[in-house]
Structure 1
Amino acid sequence: MLMKLRATKQIYDLVVSKIEFREKSGVLHDDTLQMLLDSEADHFMIVGFIMGLLIAGARSTGTTASWLITFLGCHPEWRTKARTEVQSLLASHSYPITSSFAPSAASPLSSIPLAAWESSAPILDALIRETLRIAQPHVAMRRNQGPPITIGGKTLPTGGFAIYPFSDVHLNAELYPDPLTFDPARPVQKDDFAYIGWGGGRVNCLGTRLAKLEMKLIAAMFLLNFEFHIVDAEGSPADPHPQPNWNDTLMCKPANGSFFLDYKRREDASL
């Protein structure tokens, strides 16, 4: 507990030092920190906002990556497709390994340029998209700064909050037949608000590119190194597959002890 307290204080001091440097410099920037300073928010509120943003990003990415591996563990056909795609990327971009250079475990993957991860991995993109749709119980919350507005027959006063659960669209059977079934091959919806995994309208996740890259790297290392599948408490192949629990607003996970990841290193492990 004391170590966590000390670490939190260190982060607080680091952020405060950056705030004070910005204030003393007198240089204006077009970023979130400048907006908070212009609104005369105090240091405690600014630090809380920034730390909350960092924690929220880590939690969301980690949860989504966990579910991505879980879904891959349930669907061998998608494991094969994703592994083939990663191997293709490596074959196209990896540098030769010489006897004088011993690469780290991640070196082959790090040789793949960002542009390739973003434009040449449609299978991983589809897997991440479907994972976000089915296993992220997010809720959008916006405050009305005024004047009062009417939405769906309800008046939202100045200072009031509008709440929108992502399940209203992501689990909508009219848009996604059999919505709780994991199916990355689903056709992409044309309506801008039929999918809001990264936000929508004027508010979108600023960490989208980083989060996608992190999840692709995690999936790639798992796929290249391990054979894995999801089992039940008895060690038998999970039947039915684990379902995300949308009442668990943080991790969406099923009951503890109901499912496990069974894995072993591949004989031809690439990394």
Structure 2
Amino acid sequence: MATTIRSARVPGPRAPLGWRGQALAFLRDPIAFMALLRRQYGELASVQEGYQWWMFAFGPAYNQQVLSDAALFHSVAIAPLTTPPNSALARLTRNLLSMNGDTHKQQRRLMLPAFHRKRVEGYRDAIVALAEHELDTWQVGQQLDIARAMQRLTLRIASRTLFGVDAAGDADSVGRLIDSWMATLESGGVLLLPRDLPATPFRKLLRLSDQLEARVQAVIARKRASPAGQPDVLSMLIEARDDDGVALTDEELIGQASLVFIAGHETSSNALTWTLFLLSQHPRILAELCDELAGVLRGGAPTVEQLARLPLLDRVLKESMRLLPPASFMMRYTTRPAQLGPHTLPAGATVTVSPYITHHSPALYPDPQRFDPARWERIAPGTYEYMPFGAGPHMCLGSTFATIEIKIVLALLLQRYRLELAPGARIDRRVKITMSPRWGMPMHVLPQGSLPRPVRVRGNVRQMVELG
């Protein structure tokens, strides 16, 4: 490493095992790690006392500094640093999340029309049909893992609207492949030993990447063979041209399509799962929301116009994604020496910011652990104070799509069923690229007219949400 630039000594924990030991602690539970740093050291802290190569910056001012200056703070790829440059893994992870500078701007401009609000609203009918198909399979009295059910549903919605593939058949096989790929990519074994050696998780990841790339290539080839009028995001990306007539190459399509597909269902499925959990524990709010849905929709599927006439639904979703944001942290690295508060960081230092820590700030959100949708009648947080989809040039392109999708699914589900958490359930967070319940979300399906009873919840979700 280059010589560290002198500046004010960076606060942080003493770490007998060094920064690598701290990295393992962070990977085990990023939220607990960041909350402890914020509590003990304030808005700026290092992974290790005096170590300038990995900093944590908390609060709106630092969120804005780090996320808005895309030239100084580059986005970090989710792939291991030693990814073979000409591998399927490299191509699958070369997308908007990992791109910077002019390349990022050009690719984002090409992709933006596919996520224009009017275009997204056109997917309403497909979302409704797939959600109703999923709900038709449920039975009153059964116990479901709602996390798995929401993942299955959003995977099929993503398959239809983003890729245009058959939601009942191809979606499941692609979904299983993506689930395996993501689980392996996020595993500790890949991060600790990113080497192509026999029987290692990294070799498994390379093999799964080859398989996933082949599936994406096959979908692209089918669309190129019959391009006319296909109403899905991938078809639009294939047809997209910039001002000079330049299109996305197949390699670029592979990376961007993979990102769209993965982000297109993971964020939505986790947001739906956490929202249904919170409503099950707050029956008064649930009853008020169901009254609003009944009054506006009268049992029907919401139109896009009707979604705008459901203010409590909007507040419930905003509050859920404040308390339990699917993306709890983001990383950037410095392209040159950078000033962060009183500290001068060297080029190549990593800086982590956190929507979760920001959303739980008492200065911004009084009683921050409390699920209180009514607070959104009184507050209007700024871009860097509330950022469930990130902020700045790398803000998620699919935020409008996800919001519409989540609202439609909630409106349909809550007009047919109520959900009650299974007694004795343990709800622990699992934080990787997104935050999900580690052991799933076991819930009982109740008839539409009943209200769930709040259940005594075990697990570290109690550290994040005020529960009875």
TM over 0.5: yes
Specify the alignment match of 1:40 in structure 2: none
Q: In structure 2, what is the Cα distance between the partners aligned to 1:19 and 1:124? A: 40
Give the distance between the partners of 1:152 and 1:16, measured in 2 at CA. 50
Specify whether residues 221 and 231 from structure 1 end up closer, same or farther in structure 2 by C-alpha distance, changes over 3 A only. Answer: same
Question: Which secondary structure state, in structure 2, belongs to the residue aligned with residue 199 of structure 1?
Answer: coil
Q: Which residue of 2 aligns with 1:67?
A: 274
Q: Alpha-carbon deviations, 1:195-231, whole Å to 9, x = none?
A: 1112223443221222112111221122111133224
Task: Establish whether residue 250 from structure 1 lines up as the match of residue 441 from structure 2.
Answer: no
Using the TM superposition, give the Cα deviation of residue 158 of structure 1 relative to its aligned residue in structure 2, in angstroms: 4.8
Q: Which amino acid aligns with 1:207?
A: G
Amino acid at match of 1:122: P
Q: Which runs of 5+ in 2 are unaligned?
A: 1-172, 178-207, 228-234, 451-468
| Deviations 1:80-113, CA, capped at 9 Å, x for gaps | 121122122224xx8xxxxxxxxxxxxx31xx43
For residues 386 and 427 of structure 2, the distance between their equivalents in structure 1, rounded to whole angstroms, comes to: 20
Aligned ranges 1:165-184 → 2 under 5 Å: 165-184=354-373
Matched, 1:80 2:287: yes
Q: Cα–Cα, structure 1 residues 46 and 57, in superposed 2: closer, same or farther, change >3 Å?
A: same
Letter in structure 2 aligned against 1:196: M
Please tell me the residue identity of whatever aligns with 2:447: R
Residues 132-177 of structure 1 deviation map (CA, whole Å, 9 limit, x = unaligned) = 1111242223344x44332223445555543212123111122223
Root mean square deviation, CA, Å: 3.7
Identity fraction in percent: 23
Helix, strand or coil for the counterpart of 1:193?
coil
Cα distance in 2 for residues equivalent to 1:26 and 1:217:
29
More divergent stretch after superposition (187-196 vs 242-251): 242-251
Residue 243 (structure 1) shift: 6.5
Q: Corresponding residue for 1:12?
A: 217
- The whole-number CA distance in structure 2 between the counterparts of 1:216 and 1:115 is 12
| Residue deviations 1:9-47 (CA, integer Å, cap 9, x gap) | 22233347779999xx998326xx95x76xxxxx54651
Match of 2:442 among 256, 260, 271: 260
**Structure 2 residue 218 is matched with structure 1 residue 28:** no
Q: Which amino acid aligns with 2:371?
A: F
* Shift of residue 120, structure 1, vs aligned partner: 1.2
Q: Is the 8 A contact 1:245 1:252 kept in 2?
A: yes
For the Cα contact (< 8 Å) 1:82–1:124, is it kept in 2? yes
| Alignment correspondent of 2:329 | 139
Paired AA for residue 255 in structure 2? G
Runs of 4+ aligned residues of structure 1 deviating over 4 Å after TM superposition are 5-8, 16-22, 43-46, 156-161, 246-249
Match of 2:417 in 1: 226
Q: For the structure 1 residues 173 and 121, does the alpha-carbon distance in structure 2 shift closer, same or farther, using more than 3 Å as the test? A: same
Whichever residue aligns with residue 251 of structure 1, its letter is: M
For 2:396, the equivalent position in structure 1 comes to 205
Aligned pairs (5 A) from 1:76-155: 76-91=283-298, 108-109=300-301, 112-117=302-307, 119-136=308-325, 137-144=327-334, 146-155=335-344
Q: Cα gap change, 1:249/1:9 in structure 2, threshold over 3 Å: closer, same or farther?
A: closer
The answer (yes or no) to whether the contact 1:72–1:229 under 8 Å persists in 2 is no
Q: Distance in 2 between matches of 1:189 and 1:27?
A: 36
Q: Which has the higher contact order (CA 8 A, sep 6+)?
A: 2
CA distance in 2, matches of 1:140, 1:16: 34
Partner Cα distance (1:27, 1:79) in 2 = 43
Q: In 2 relative to 1, CA 50–153 (structure 1 residues): closer, same or farther, beyond 3 Å?
A: farther
TM-score, structure 2 normalization: 0.42
Aligned to 1:97: none
Q: What CA distance in whole angstroms lies between the structure 2 residues aligned with 1:149 and 1:79?
A: 47
Q: What CA distance in whole angstroms lies between the structure 1 residues aligned with 2:418 and 2:317?
A: 20
| Aligned residue runs from structure 1 range 181-200, under 5 A | 181-186=370-375, 187-200=378-391
Residue identity matched to 1:201: G
Q: Is the 8 A contact 2:297 2:306 kept in 1?
A: no
**Distance of 1:176 and 1:261 partners within structure 2:** 29
Cα distance, 1:51 vs structure 2: 0.2
Q: Name the CA shift for 1:179/1:16 in 2 (closer, same or farther; >3 Å).
A: farther
Distance in 1 of aligned mates of 2:422 and 2:337: 52
Residues 189 and 90 from structure 1, CA distance in 2 versus in 1: closer, same or farther, beyond 3 angstroms? closer
Rounded to whole Å, the distance in 2 between the matches of 1:191 and 1:77 is 29
For 2:369, give the aligned amino acid.
Answer: L
Amino acid at match of 2:439: N
SS at match of 1:263: strand
Residues paired across the two proteins, number: 230
| Contact 1:135–1:244 (Cα < 8 Å) also in 2 | no
User: Who is 1:103 aligned against?
Assistant: none
